Amino acid sequence: MSMLAVKHGAINLGQGFPNFDGPDFVKEAAIKAINAGKNQYARGYGVPELNSAVAERFLKDSGLQVDPDKEVTVTSGCTEAIAATILGLINPGDEVILFAPFYDSYEATLSMAGADVKAITLRPPDFAVPLEELKAAVSKNTRAIMINTPHNPTGKMFTREELEFIADLCKENDVLLFADEVYDKLAFEADHISMASIPGMYERTVTMNSLGKTFSLTGWKIGWAIAPPHLTWGVRQAHSFLTFATSTPMQSAAAAALRAPESYFEELKRDYGAKKALLVDGLKAAGFIVYPSSGTYFVMVDHTPFGFDNDVEFCEYLIREVGVVAIPPSVFYLNPEDGKNLVRFTFCKDDDTLRAAVDRMKAKLRKK
C-alpha cells in the first residue's frame, strides 16, 4: 500500500509509522554513543545499560522486578522478539491460539516453526473476546496463547476480566502466554495491564515490547523480550541464530529513552489522543461506521456504506480516486471473509496530514 501511495500521490494513513521524528534527546544519545566508539558487536542479549533500563521500566509499569541479565533479551525490534520466542519455544505440531485479526508476522513465524494455528475471531463493534469459544479451543496440544494488547489492528484493549479468564485457562491447562505489548504507552481509555502481572502468570509469560512506537523511531528496530530464565533460555537460543546482536549505539540511546521522565509518556498520550479525535471525527463526517479505539494508533472502520464488495476493492478505489491510503485488514485473518467489511486507518501522522486526508475523503467519498 505504501508503494501505491507513492505511485498515486496518495496520503498514507496505512502503514503504522510516524511521518514525524523521534525526540531530540534520544537521537543525541545515539550520536554520543557513536562518537564514543560504541560501534562494534554488542553482547548477544543486550548491552548492560539497556537491559537494566528495560528492567527498571518494567518495574515501574507492571510492578514486577526482573533480573536484567537473566530475564531480559534485547532483539532487533519486537518482530524479532516474536520470532525468537516462537522459534525458541514452539515445536512442530504444537497448537498456538491467536486472536484474529492479528499482526501478520505471528502466523508467518508460527508456520516456520511448524505450529498448528487456531484463531479466535474478535468481532465488531467492541471486538470482545468470545470467552466460551476460547475455552473450547484449548486442547491437550495447546502450547501457547498469543495476545496483543493494546491490539493492532482493532485498537481494542483487553479488559481485566478477559485477561484473567485467559490467565486461568493458561494455568489450568499448563499453557504458555506470549504478550505483544508494543502499544502499552498508547492506552487511551484505561490503564494498560501487563499479562505477566496477573498472579501466577509471570512464570509462563514472555512479554515483548519495543522502542519504535513509543518514541517514533521505528527504523531503529530495538525490541526486547522479558521472561523467566527457563523461557529466556529458549528465546536466546533462537535469537543467537536470527540476528545474534542488535545495533550497539542505538541500544545506548534506547536506554536513555526508557529513562525519560513520566511527563514524556503523559504528553505522548495527550498528543496521540488529539490526533485520534481529529481522525475519528473526520472519518465519521466522511460517512464511515467508526469502531471504538481504546489504544494503539489505529482506528478500524466499516466501509460498507460506500457500496464496495470487500476491503481490497475499497482500498484500491480509495488510493486511485480519493488519494488516501488505508489497509485492507482481511490479510490479518485466517479467513479473509471475516475482515472484508473493515478498513484500518492510522493516526500516527502530523495534524496537517490527517486534516488533508480527511478533507479528501469528505470531498470525494459518496454513500451508495
| Tens digits of residue pLDDT in 40-89 | 999 999 999 999 999 999 999 999 999 999 999 999 999 999 999 999 99
Helices (H) and strands (E) in the chain, counts: 13, 12
Other Cβ atoms closer than 10 A to 367: 10
Closest CA to 171 of 207, 210, 145: 145
Closest CA to 45 of 250, 235, 255: 235
pLDDT at position 200 over 80:
yes
Other Cβ atoms closer than 10 A to 9: 8
23: left (phi over 0), alpha (psi -120 to 50) or beta: beta
**CA 112 to chain centroid:** 20
For residues 148 and 102, the answer to whether their CB atoms sit within 8 Å is: yes
Residues 241-295: tens digit of each pLDDT: 999 999 999 999 999 999 999 999 999 999 999 999 999 999 999 999 999 999 9
What percent of the chain lies above the pLDDT cut of 70? 99
- Nine cell digits for residue 67: 533480573
For residues 248 and 33, the answer to whether their CB atoms sit within 8 Å is: yes
In this structure, what are the phi and psi dihedrals at residue 29, rounded to the nearest 5 degrees? Answer: -65, -35
- Is the entire prediction scored with pTM above 0.85? yes
Tracing cell 533460555 back to the chain, one arrives at 233
State mean pLDDT over 185-207. Answer: 97
- Nine cell digits for residue 91: 515445536
**What rounded mean pLDDT belongs to the chain?**
97
**In whole angstroms, how far apart are CA 48 and each of 106, 223, 238?**
29, 14, 20
Q: What is the Cα–Cα distance from 246 to 16, expressed in whole angstroms?
A: 22
- Nine cell digits for residue 254: 534506547
State mean pLDDT over 212-229. Answer: 98
**In whole angstroms, how far apart are CA 274 and each of 332, 351, 354?**
27, 9, 11
- Burial class from Cβ neighbours inside 10 Å (0-12, 13-18, 19+) for residue 230 reads exposed
Specify the pLDDT at position 3. 75
For residues 177 and 96, the answer to whether their CB atoms sit within 8 Å is: no
Q: What is the Cα–Cα distance from 269 to 213, expressed in whole angstroms?
A: 12
Specify the pLDDT at position 70. 98
In this structure, what are the phi and psi dihedrals at residue 251, rounded to the nearest 5 degrees? Answer: -65, -40
In this structure, what are the phi and psi dihedrals at residue 289, rounded to the nearest 5 degrees? Answer: -85, 115
Q: How confident is the model at residue 6 (pLDDT cuts 50, 70, 90)?
A: confident
- Burial class from Cβ neighbours inside 10 Å (0-12, 13-18, 19+) for residue 233 reads middle
Q: What is the Cα–Cα distance from 123 to 90, expressed in whole angstroms?
A: 28
DSSP 179-210: EE-TTTT-B-SS----GGGSTT-GGGEEEEEE
User: For residue 104, what is the enclosing H or E element?
Assistant: helix 104-113
pLDDT at position 350 over 80:
yes
- Rg (C-alpha) for the chain, rounded Å, is 20
pLDDT at position 4 over 80:
no
Residues 114-164: tens digit of each pLDDT: 999 999 999 999 999 999 999 999 999 999 999 999 999 999 999 999 999
pLDDT at position 8 over 90:
no
